[in-house]
A and B are shown apart, each in its own frame.
Chain A
Amino acid sequence: MTRGNFVPILVVLGVIVLFWYVMAVVMNAPWQETLNGRVNLTNVPFTEFALQTWGQDKPVLPAPHQVAGAIWTGLFGSAITAPRSLAFHAGITLGATLLGFGLGTLLGVLLAVVIVHNNASDRSLMPWIIASQTVPILAIAPMVVVGFGAVGVTGMLPKALISMYLSFFPVVVGMVKGLRTPEAIQLDLMRTYNASAWQVFAKLRWPTSVPFLFASMKVGIAISLIGAVVGELSNSAGGGLGVRLLTGSYNGQTIQIWAALFIAAALAAVLVILVGWGERLANRRMGVRA
C-alpha cells in the first residue's frame, strides 16, 4: 500500500461508513418505533431517534461504532486463552486454515506436476478436478466432519481437509498454466542441452510458474479460511470463528455476528497480504524487476 492508495481508500471508507450510519437508521427504525410505542413514547425528535437506532441491543443493522466496540471487547476484553475472546477463536480458525492451505497447496502442486508431465493423467484428471469444485462441499461440510469423526479423525484435521479441498483447485489451475508457460523456443534450448525431464522442470518450468503459484495462493488462502469457518459450524466443541458466527446468529446477537465476520475478513486480508510479501521476496530473489 503506497502513499498513493492511502487517501483514496480513506475517502471511499468514509463514504461507506456514512452510508452505513444512514442505512442503520433506516433499517432499525421499524423496531425502534415498536419499542417506543410500547413505552408510549411519541413524537421523538429525529436526532434522538437516530441515536436510539444506533444503540439498540439486537439491531437489524448494527451501527459501525457498535461493531467496532464488539470487536474491541472481543479481541482485547478477555485473556487470549479465554473462550470469550474472539482472538482465541480466531487462533483456532487460523490453525485449521493454515493446515488446510498447506495441504491444498502441496496437493495442487503435486497434481499439476503430474498433469503436465503425464498426458494420460492430464486427460483423465483435469475434467474431474474441475467437476470436483461443482460439488458443494460447503453444503456437506457438517456431514464430512461427522463422517471423519466416525473413522476417528477429529479436531483440526477434518476442517483442514475441507479447506484443502477448496484451496487445491486454484493452485492446480494456476500451476498447470504456469508450468506450461515456457515458450517452445526455451524448451527447445533445454533439449539441445540434453536436459532430462527433471532438469527441465527444476530449471525452467518451476521458476516460470512461481508468479502463478503466488497468485493462486492468494486466492487459495482466502478460500481456506472460508472452508475452516464452515467446517467449524458442525463442531461447536472445537471453537473457532465459525462457531461464534453461529452462536451469535441463533442467539439473535447480531452485533456478535458482524464482529466475528469482520475479524474473519481481517484475518483473510492479513493472510493475503502476508502471501503478497512472500511473493515480493521470492520475486526479488529470483531477479524479477519491479
Chain B
Amino acid sequence: MSRLQTILVIAAGMASLLSIVLAPFGEASPMLQVFAAIGILSLSRLKRPMPVWVDAVLAVFGAWALFDALPLYAVEPPYFWLAVIADWLFAWLFVERLALAIRRGQVSNTLGVLIPVTFGLALLFAWEIVVRGAGVPQVILPAPSQIAARLAASVPTLAADFVQTFKAVLAGFALGCGSGFVVAILVDRSPFLKRGLLPIGNFVSALPVIGIAPIMVMWFGFDWPSKAAVVVAMTFFPMLVNTVAGLNASSSIERDLMRIYAANYWETLLKLRLPAAAPFIFNALKINSTLALIGAIVAEFFGTPIVGMGFRISTEVGKLNIDLVWAEIAVAAVAGSAFYGVIALIERAVTFWHPSVRGGRT
C-alpha cells in the first residue's frame, strides 16, 4: 500500500473507533454502530490485504447507516460526524485503490468512470447529511433530496425557462463567435488594425457584463434579443483573441512550404492556417459556451417577460423558494455541461491530429 493509502486506512479506523467510543450507550443507531465496528475491523488490512471492492461496499453501507440515523436528532452529536468522516475516508480509499488497480491493468479502464461518479456522489451525500444533520434552514440551503423533489414537480416550468434562455444563448453564441471569427480574419490581413484593435478589445472584454445588461435591455427591449446581445458582447472578444493567436500558430517552416507551392493568401488560410488555428478556436468556443449561458442568465435579471432561467432564479429567491432556485441551477449546470461536451466532441473529431487529443502523458 502506498503511504497515502496507509494514512487513509489508519485515519478511517481511528474515526470509527472514536465514533463508537463517543456514542452514548443504547442511544445510538445500531446500524451506525455496526458500520463503525466494521470500520475498526478494516484496520486488519494492515496485516492482510483486502480486495478493492470492500471499501466500496463499506462506503455505501456507511452512507445507508448514516441516512438511517438522521432522524434521531435535530442537530447531530459528534459521534455522528466522526462516522461521516470515516465514511468519506472509505470512499476516498476506494477511489485511490481503484485508480491504482486500473493503472496496473488489474481492472478495465471503462470502470474508471466510477471515480468521478464516486466523488460526485460523495459530495452530494455530504451536502445532504450536513444540511439535514446540522439543521440548516431550508430557506438558506436546501438538501439535494428536496431539490430533486422540486425538480421533478416543476418540469413544465423549467422546460419553458430553458427554451426561453437558450434562444438567447444559441443566437448570441452563433452571432458572437461568428463575428469574432470574421473580424479576426479581417484583422489578420492588416497588422496595423491588429496592433490597434487587440488592446482595445482586451479592454472592452474586461467590462463587467452585469453593467452591459441594463443598457442592452434599454436598447433592444425586454425579450430575448437583448439577452442575445449581451451574449454577443461576452463571446466576441475571447473568440477574436483566440482566433488571432491561432492564426499565428502555424510555424514558419509550414508557411514557407505553402509559398513554395505558390499558394495564394486564401489557399494558405484555408489549407494551413485555419486548421492550425483549430485548437485555439475550439478553446475559445469551449470558454464561450459557459460564458454564453452565464451571460444570458444574468442578463435576465434586468427585465424580462416572466419566463426564463435568470428570471426564475432571481424572483424565486424573493419568494424564498430556494429549492426551485437550485433546481434551476442544476438544469443550467447540466445544460452548460452538455453544451461544453458537444463542443469537446466536435473538437476531438476536427483536431484529431493534436497531441492533446492523441493522448500520451507526461
User: Taking beta carbons and an 8 Å cutoff, which residues of A are in contact with B?
Assistant: 1, 4-5, 7-13, 16, 27, 60-61, 118-120, 123-128, 130-131, 133-136, 138-140, 142-143, 146-147, 150, 180-184, 187, 222, 225-226, 229-230, 233, 242, 245, 249, 254, 257-258, 260-262, 264-266, 268-269, 272
In the assembled complex, B204 has its CB within 8 A of some CB on chain A: yes
Q: Is the CB of B333 within 8 A of A124?
A: no
Q: Is the CB of A143 within 8 A of B362?
A: no
Per a CB cutoff under 8 Å, which of A4, A7, A272 touches B206? A272
Q: Measured between alpha carbons, how far is A124 from B99 in the docked complex, in Å?
A: 10
Per a CB cutoff under 8 Å, which of B199, B218, B362 touches A254? B218
Contacts of A265 in B (CB 8 A): 203-204, 206-208
Q: Measured between alpha carbons, how far is A184 from B362 in the docked complex, in Å?
A: 6
Closest partner residue, chain A, to B4 (CB atom): A118
In the assembled complex, B337 has its CB within 8 A of some CB on chain A: yes
Interface size class of B (residues with CB under 8 A): 35 or more
Q: Is the CB of A9 within 8 A of B337?
A: no
CB-based A-B contact count at 8 angstroms: 170
In the assembled complex, B118 has its CB within 8 A of some CB on chain A: yes
Max chain B C-beta neighbours (<10 A), residue from A125, A134, A261: A134
Q: Measured between alpha carbons, how far is A120 from B210 in the docked complex, in Å?
A: 38
Closest partner residue, chain A, to B334 (CB atom): A134
Shortest Cβ distance from residue A161 to the other chain B in the assembled complex, whole angstroms: 15
Q: Measured between alpha carbons, how far is A215 from B335 in the docked complex, in Å?
A: 28
Task: Report, nearest first, the 10 A-B pairs whose CB atoms are least far apart.
Answer: A8-B196, A134-B336, A268-B206, A120-B99, A12-B196, A124-B119, A261-B211, A8-B195, A123-B115, A127-B116
Q: Is the CB of B294 within 8 A of A60?
A: no
Q: Measured between alpha carbons, how far is A123 from B102 in the docked complex, in Å?
A: 11
Q: Is the CB of B293 within 8 A of A134?
A: yes
Q: Measured between alpha carbons, how far is A247 from B118 in the docked complex, in Å?
A: 45
Given contacts A5-B195, A9-B200, contact A136 B293 (CB under 8 A): yes
Per a CB cutoff under 8 Å, which of A7, A125, A139, A257 touches B294? A139
> Mind listing 6 A-B residue pairs with CB under 8 Å?
A8-B197, A11-B196, A125-B116, A126-B116, A139-B313, A226-B209
Q: Measured between alpha carbons, how far is A254 from B216 in the docked complex, in Å?
A: 12
Contacts of A123 in B (CB 8 A): 95, 99, 112, 115-116
